[in-house]
């Protein structure tokens, strides 16, 4: 569900980044907001749904992560708010200064959200100091932790970790680049904007940056986590997920040759889904690794709700997912095709 959220709301973030850096003309800005206007708030339903599922299925993980990551979660909440009001308030007053302020709010919030979600993934891959162990002694209960925004050493191998270090920033940059590509693909798919040819060139060039960042992140992963690929060696069928990631990555190099506007979006979606699945497969059964040897990692087994809670929850989950999929299907069916003339945000 989180992967679906990143695919759907990720193109909104990417569109905001394109809006910030590449949309210079008013008609280009309108084309971008038209492309995401009917979808962005509905896409965020997947984030809410994921939080609900996390609460009923893995309550200990929910309690641990929402307290430990409290600071960045609040920052993400404010960024989501500013991004939303940037879209909604821009068209309320037709004044150049007013529009410029909310254009920046929308674009900068989108950029920082892409960065922070990549950093969040980096924190999960790296792990946290569960129990706040110092000198071999656990200062708190085994599932508790709290992270400041950064630590003095800026190192992912320090005893006292921070949210931001050089490793999490690296994955944050991967997030920014792929979501920029993903958003540009969505704009190409949903509009006939004059910006589209420029965006194809931008995607092609950014894909080289993405390839370099992916290779670098895989290399330094060995510094952060010993034997990060052991699950793939023990269970060979899991290689399907990295293969999907590579198909998505290398398919994007052909962006300027695609005859159908939606093909690029399919490849960037493959990269995101494959990357998420590869990350989950590599750390399974861990959900949040421990960086110390005193307290165990949080896994699907030691943080799950009891059997009765899971059995009740799965029944409601099936019902809720059917409603959610129906809602998304109808919405995308109603707003199929190009969105150049919907006039989103006009008052």
Show pLDDT as tens, one digit a residue, over the chain (347 residues): 899 999 999 999 999 999 999 988 888 898 999 899 888 888 888 898 888 889 989 999 999 999 899 988 999 999 999 999 988 888 888 888 998 999 999 999 999 999 999 999 999 999 999 998 888 888 888 899 998 888 888 888 888 889 999 999 999 999 999 999 999 999 999 999 889 999 999 999 999 999 999 999 989 988 887 788 899 999 999 999 999 999 999 999 999 999 899 999 999 999 999 999 999 999 999 999 998 889 999 999 999 999 998 998 888 888 888 988 898 889 888 888 888 777 666 54
The SS3 assignment for 86 reads: helix
**Which residue, among 297, 150, 268, 275, has the nearest Cα to 221 in the 3D structure?**
275
How far apart CA 294 and CA 280 sit, in angstroms, is 23
- Whole-prediction pTM: 0.93
**DSSP label of 128:** B
Q: What angle do CA 210, 213, 216 make, to 5 degrees?
A: 150
Q: Are 43 and 14 in contact (CB under 8 A)?
A: no
Provide the H-helix boundaries in the chain. 2-21, 26-36, 40-43, 45-57, 59-68, 70-89, 96-126, 166-190, 196-224, 230-234, 240-251, 263-283, 307-334
Number of Cα atoms under 13 Å in the Cβ half of residue 135: 0
């Amino acid at each position: 569900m989180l992967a679906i959220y990143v695919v759907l709301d990720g193109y909104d973030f990417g569109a905001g980044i394109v809006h910030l850096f590449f949309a210079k003309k008013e008609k280009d800005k309108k084309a971008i907001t038209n492309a995401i206007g009917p979808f962005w708030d509905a896409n965020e339903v997947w984030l809410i749904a994921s939080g609900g599922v996390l609460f009923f299925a893995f309550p200990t993980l929910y309690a641990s992560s929402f307290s430990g990551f409290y600071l960045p979660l609040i920052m993400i909440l404010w960024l989501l708010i500013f991004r939303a009001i940037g879209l909604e308030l821009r068209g309320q007053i037709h004044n150049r200064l007013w529009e410029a302020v909310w254009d920046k709010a929308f674009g900068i919030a989108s950029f920082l959200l892409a960065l922070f979600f990549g950093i969040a993934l980096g924190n999960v891959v790296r792990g946290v100091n569960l129990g706040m162990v110092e000198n071999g002694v656990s200062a708190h209960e085994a599932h508790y932790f709290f992270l400041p925004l950064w630590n003095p050493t800026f190192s992912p191998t320090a005893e006292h970790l921070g949210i931001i270090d050089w490793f999490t920033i690296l994955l944050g940059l991967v997030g920014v680049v792929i979501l920029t590509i993903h958003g540009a693909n969505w704009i190409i798919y949903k509009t006939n904007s004059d910006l589209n040819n420029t965006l194809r060139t931008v995607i092609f060039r950014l894909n080289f940056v993405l390839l370099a960042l992916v290779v670098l992140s895989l290399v330094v992963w060995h510094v952060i986590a010993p034997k990060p690929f052991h699950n793939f060696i023990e269970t060979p069928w899991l290689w399907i997920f990295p293969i999907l990631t590579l198909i998505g990555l290398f398919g994007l190099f052909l962006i300027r040759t695609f005859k159908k506007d939606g093909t690029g979006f399919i490849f960037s979606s493959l990269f995101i889904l494959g990357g998420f699945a590869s990350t989950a497969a590599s750390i399974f059964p861990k959900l949040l690794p421990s960086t110390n040897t005193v307290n165990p990692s949080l896994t699907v087994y030691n943080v799950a709700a009891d059997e009765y809670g899971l059995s009740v929850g799965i029944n409601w989950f099936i019902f809720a997912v059917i409603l959610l999929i129906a809602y998304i299907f109808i919405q995308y069916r109603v707003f199929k095709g190009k969105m150049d003339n919907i006039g989103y945000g006009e008052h």
